[in-house]
């Protein structure tokens, strides 16, 4: 069987370089929706194995508290709001929190963690605000209170997911993270979130200096994955290497076909 001709090689080379060029110009295109990966929760064991930290226990309690007030808040949204968008947001978040609450209570039982049965004083105050409000005023209170609450628990979930030694807490944190991101997105879809009122993120320099030394040592620069800054350089190097390889192959194929006028 004969090898590929030079015309075929050039076509393959052009296609490959074009594909790399597309990634170079828009490196996020390959990871855009609907191809955003979903974490495979079934790969995480759930045996209650591993030491429990204070942060682990606190997260289990906080997830339970979230359901205790956000479920009745969602029910009020369906009854008191005049905006179909808010009614649907309230219905979806209340239903999803019922699922998350069941997951949380199951984890608490397995880990023998005592969880509350009623909302805390702050949450009861937010529910009272909602009961006293109607129409657009209710909508603003409902959306802002829930968005602020989700913003507070979101980083706590991430910290526990990254550091816990307990597999049941690890799985709960991953599940809770998916719920919280979904709820923030639903709340923001209302179009009335007061983003200016949200707390600002800590100074990155201050956060970096407080990072554990062991974490810094475990992530050497040479092993870091490509970021949005160096990914184009990586792709450019790939394109260049591909071009050199194809050029060398074509030269080699041409030399083999060229007649020799030396010894017979």
What is the per-residue pLDDT across 139-180, written as a single tens digit (0 to 9) for each?
999 999 999 999 999 999 999 999 999 999 999 999 999 999
Question: Is residue 251, in this structure, part of any structural domain at all?
Answer: no
Q: What pLDDT score does 159 carry?
A: 97
Q: What pLDDT score does 119 carry?
A: 98
Distance between CA atoms of residues 176 and 110, nearest Å: 17
Distance between CA atoms of residues 82 and 158, nearest Å: 35
Q: For residue range 191-223, what is the model confidence (pLDDT) as tens digits? A: 999 999 999 988 888 666 655 555 445 444 444
Question: Is residue 156, in this structure, part of any structural domain at all?
Answer: yes
Q: For residue range 233-242, what is the model confidence (pLDDT) as tens digits? A: 555 555 556 5
Can you say whether residue 3 is alpha, beta or left, with left for phi > 0 and alpha for psi between -120 and 50 degrees? Answer: beta
Q: For residue range 41-73, what is the model confidence (pLDDT) as tens digits? A: 889 999 999 999 999 999 999 999 999 999 999
Burial (CB < 10 A; 0-12, 13-18, 19+), residue 248, is: exposed
Q: Which residue has the tokens 């997260």?
A: 59
Q: What pLDDT score does 34 carry?
A: 74
Q: What pLDDT score does 213 carry?
A: 53
225: tokens are 């994955």
Q: What pLDDT score does 16 carry?
A: 45
The mean pLDDT of 64-88, rounded to a whole number, is: 98
Residues 6+ apart with CB under 8 A from 77: 86, 87, 89, 90, 91, 94, 138, 142
Pick the more confident residue, 4 or 212.
Answer: 212
Question: Is residue 171, in this structure, part of any structural domain at all?
Answer: yes
Question: Above 60 in pLDDT, residue 105?
Answer: yes
DSSP 11-33: HHHHHHHHHHHHHHH-TTGGG-T
Q: What pLDDT score does 37 carry?
A: 83
Question: Is residue 253, in this structure, part of any structural domain at all?
Answer: no
Q: Which domain holds residue 169?
A: 46-198
The mean pLDDT of 84-97, rounded to a whole number, is: 98
Question: Above 80 in pLDDT, residue 230?
Answer: no
* pTM of the predicted model as reported, rounded to 2 decimal places: 0.66
Q: Please, what is the angle between helix 135-163 and helix 121-132, to 10°?
A: 160
Number of domain units in the chain: 1
Q: Please state, rounded to an integer, the average pLDDT across all residues of the chain.
A: 80
DSSP 212-227: -HHHHHHS-GGGPPP-
Categorize the per-residue pLDDT at 15 as very low, low, confident or very high, splitting at 50, 70 and 90: very low
Question: Is residue 193, in this structure, part of any structural domain at all?
Answer: yes
Question: Above 60 in pLDDT, residue 231?
Answer: no
Question: Above 80 in pLDDT, residue 39?
Answer: yes
Categorize the per-residue pLDDT at 257 as very low, low, confident or very high, splitting at 50, 70 and 90: low
Burial per residue of 231-244, b for 16 or more beta-carbon CB atoms within 10 angstroms, e otherwise: eeeebeeebeebee
Question: Is residue 203, in this structure, part of any structural domain at all?
Answer: no
Categorize the per-residue pLDDT at 254 as very low, low, confident or very high, splitting at 50, 70 and 90: low
CATH of the domain at 121: 1.20.1260.10
Categorize the per-residue pLDDT at 35 as very low, low, confident or very high, splitting at 50, 70 and 90: confident
Question: Is residue 259, in this structure, part of any structural domain at all?
Answer: no
Q: What are phi and psi of 262, to 5 degrees?
A: -85, -130
Burial (CB < 10 A; 0-12, 13-18, 19+), residue 1, is: exposed
Question: Is residue 207, in this structure, part of any structural domain at all?
Answer: no
Residues 6+ apart with CB under 8 A from 28: 228
Question: Above 60 in pLDDT, residue 256?
Answer: no
Q: What are phi and psi of 130, to 5 degrees?
A: -70, -40
């Amino acid at each position: 069987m004969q090898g590929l001709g030079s015309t075929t090689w050039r076509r393959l080379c052009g296609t490959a370089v074009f594909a790399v060029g597309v990634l170079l110009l828009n490196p996020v295109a390959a990871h855009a929706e609907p191809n955003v990966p979903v974490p495979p929760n079934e790969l995480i064991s759930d045996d209650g194995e591993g030491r429990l930290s204070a942060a682990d226990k606190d997260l289990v309690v906080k997830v339970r508290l979230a359901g205790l007030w956000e479920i009745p808040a969602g029910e009020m949204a369906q009854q008191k709001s005049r905006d179909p968008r808010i009614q649907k947001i309230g219905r979806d978040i209340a239903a999803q929190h019922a699922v998350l609450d069941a997951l949380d209570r199951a984890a608490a039982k397995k880990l023998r963690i005592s969880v509350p049965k009623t909302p805390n004083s702050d949450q009861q105050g937010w529910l009272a605000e909602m009961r006293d409000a109607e129409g657009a005023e209710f909508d603003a209170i409902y959306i802002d209170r829930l968005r602020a609450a989700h913003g507070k628990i979101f980083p706590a979930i991430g910290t526990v997911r990254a550091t816990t030694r307990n597999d049941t807490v690890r799985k709960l944190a991953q599940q809770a993270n998916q719920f919280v991101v979904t709820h923030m997105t639903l709340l923001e879809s209302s179009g009335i979130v007061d983003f200016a009122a949200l707390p600002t993120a800590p100074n990155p320099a201050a956060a970096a200096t407080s990072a554990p030394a062991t974490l810094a040592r475990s992530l050497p620069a040479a092993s870091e994955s490509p970021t949005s800054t160096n990914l184009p350089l990586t792709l450019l190097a790939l394109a260049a290497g591909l071009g050199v390889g194809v050029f060398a192959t074509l030269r080699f194929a041409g030399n083999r076909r060229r007649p020799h006028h030396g010894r017979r």
